[in-house]
Amino acid sequence: MREVREATQDYLRALARRDVKGIAERSTCVASTNSFAGGRVLRVEPTRWVRMGTVDSLSGISIAVQRAADSIWAYAKETTADSLFRRARQVSNQSAVYRNAARAVLVSAPGAVVGRDSMLETRLVHARFRYAGPFVGPRPVDREEIIRLLRVPGGRWVVFSVYIAEDDPRPEMI
């Protein structure tokens, strides 16, 4: 648990410094550094295990599901457009999480060969992000965000998902 907490804190420090290289070494997802003033780990959830083959499958299937959701929304009638847009957005966010998890395997252990039956370790971290500055207003704003990390056996922890708690897509199996 200490390793996860330290990896998350290192990631938050890189975000606060707007250290592009440091962020790229520690994550595979996009996170806004605009007005980010710092953060801290609130809670680390228990370890979850997932097979590499599952991550590959989820990544591939989610692309097809995202295309279908976008197509359905594009042809929606006015009465259903809002609900279909929300669903398409949720599917898109889940798809991004799965693709980022697959890329995190490469960042966690560069050059390592990870077989389909290899077990990957994942953790969910609740963190408090502080935003401040002219775009935020005179007082800083704190938001709880969900950070997901992944590690291959013998690799390092890599962030593959960062979402505000209420917008988290809650990906299955990861």
What is the mean pLDDT for each group of 10 consecutive residues in the chain (174 residues)? Answer: 96 96 96 92 97 95 90 84 88 94 96 94 97 94 97 97 94 86
The candidate with the shortest Cα–Cα distance to 122, out of 143, 137, 100, is 100
Q: What is the pLDDT of residues 14-62, one digit of tens each?
A: 999 999 999 999 999 999 888 999 999 999 999 999 999 999 999 999 9
So what's the pLDDT on residue 73?
Answer: 78
So what's the pLDDT on residue 96?
Answer: 95
So what's the pLDDT on residue 20?
Answer: 94
- The angle subtended at Cα 29 by Cα 97 and Cα 116, nearest 5°, is 50
Lookup result for tokens 């998902």: 161
So what's the pLDDT on residue 16?
Answer: 96
So what's the pLDDT on residue 166?
Answer: 93
Residue 143 CB contacts under 8 Å (≥ 6 apart), including other chains: 128, 129, 131, 164, 165
Residue 115 — φ and ψ, nearest 5°? -75, 165
Angle between the N-to-C axes of helices 81-108 and 52-74, in degrees from 0 to 180, rounded to the nearest 10: 150
Residue 43 — φ and ψ, nearest 5°? -155, 140
The dihedral built from the CA positions of residue 131, 123, 21 and 104, taken in this order, carries a sign that is negative
So what's the pLDDT on residue 87?
Answer: 87
For 5, the token pair is: 């907490």
- Give the integer Cα–Cα distance in Å for 146 and 161: 8
DSSP 115: -
Instruction: Check: CB of residue 127 under 8 Å from CB of residue 147.
Output: yes
So what's the pLDDT on residue 59?
Answer: 93
Helix (H, G, I), strand (E, B), or coil: what is residue 136? coil
So what's the pLDDT on residue 78?
Answer: 86
So what's the pLDDT on residue 70?
Answer: 85
So what's the pLDDT on residue 50?
Answer: 97
